[in-house]
Amino acid sequence: MKEPLPALRLYRSVGQPRAAVLLLHGGRADALEPPPALNLPLARMRPFVRAIGRATAGRPVALGRVRYGHRGWNGERADAARDARLAMDELATLAGAVPTVLVGHSMGARAALHAAGHPQVKAVVGLAPWCPPEDPVDHLAGRTVVLLHGDRDRITDPAQTWAFAARARAAGADVRELPMPGGDHAMLRGAADWHAHTTRLVLELLGTAS
């Protein structure tokens, strides 16, 4: 495989992958500067990378993340969504048209849901997602969308997540809702459950994609 391009960071590549998992960390609503070197939202995703990496070891599954050019979503610019789509294009250049599962947290989940119209995206797992009521859903038809949200989240609104799920289902998506009782936005309460559920879902979705 060729060297990764700017919006894509591969943790593990294989000669000819048959599927891929990309992770997307959170960010801010508005911030035009690049993500800092010491990036807490990125650090929150590392346990998920390790768990998914162990679970898919020895399988022809590429594992990576989306690299953002900016720290924030930035209104109509939707910078994180643009970077997610670029990363999908770069993955296609590197690995071919492999079915891909996107796993995003907070802003990263919003970016993953926006990028789910890409022909390679088969499923999205959204962790404590940011799902404003104005976000589109028609492009999710035929995709699998799994949304996990805790009832102690004070950053993104679980009620908006479940409303988004209903809209996406009506648009033709295969939607699953997984409430995380006691879960907070940082996914620190019951962290092991967040990691285990996400890894199980990714394995299931990779099997469906393959």
For the chain, the structural domain boundaries read 8-209
- Cα 173 to Cα 184: distance, rounded to the nearest angstrom: 26
* Mean of pLDDT over the chain: 95
Q: What is the pLDDT of residues 54-74, one digit of tens each?
A: 999 999 999 999 999 999 999
> Bridge partners of 165?
none
Asked if the model's pLDDT at residue 210 lies above 50, the reply is no
Phi and psi at 55, nearest 5°, equal -70, -25
pLDDT of residue 170: 98
Are 114 and 81 in contact, with CB atoms under 8 Å apart? yes
Task: List strand residue ranges (DSSP E) for 78-184, in order.
Answer: 100-105, 121-127, 144-150, 174-180
| CATH of 8-209 among 3.30.70.260, 3.40.50.1820, 3.40.50.720, 3.30.465.10 | 3.40.50.1820
In percent, the amount of the chain with pLDDT more than 90 equals 90
Q: What is the pLDDT of residues 35-45, one digit of tens each?
A: 998 899 999 99
Asked if the model's pLDDT at residue 103 lies above 90, the reply is yes
Asked if the model's pLDDT at residue 5 lies above 70, the reply is no
Q: How many CB atoms lie within 10 A of CB 70?
A: 19
